[in-house]
Amino acid sequence: MKPEIIDGWEELDLVAQRCFCGKLARLQTSWTEVNPLRRFHVCPNSSGIRKKGC
């Protein structure tokens, strides 16, 4: 499928990523000044700095 361009943005198909534990990883977006709008996957077992998931 070809990406559809909408107002200068492309609509992309996202593929669900699995964590090492086998669960579906959440897609999150960074809002820091160093990595603005950077998307990354996070283990659903993660609860922040102390527990980083599998």
Domain boundaries, the chain: 16-54
Q: Which residue has the higher pLDDT, 11 or 49?
A: 49
Tell me the whole-structure pTM to 2 decimals: 0.54
pLDDT range class, residue 1, cuts 50, 70, 90: very low
Tokens (6 digits) for 7 = 């107002």
- Sign, CA dihedral 32-36-42-44, equals positive
**What is the rounded distance in angstroms from the CA atom of residue 50 to the CA atom of residue 26?**
18
Give the pLDDT of residue 21: 86
* 3 pLDDT above the threshold of 70: no
Mean pLDDT across the stretch 29-42? Answer: 88
* 13 pLDDT above the threshold of 80: no
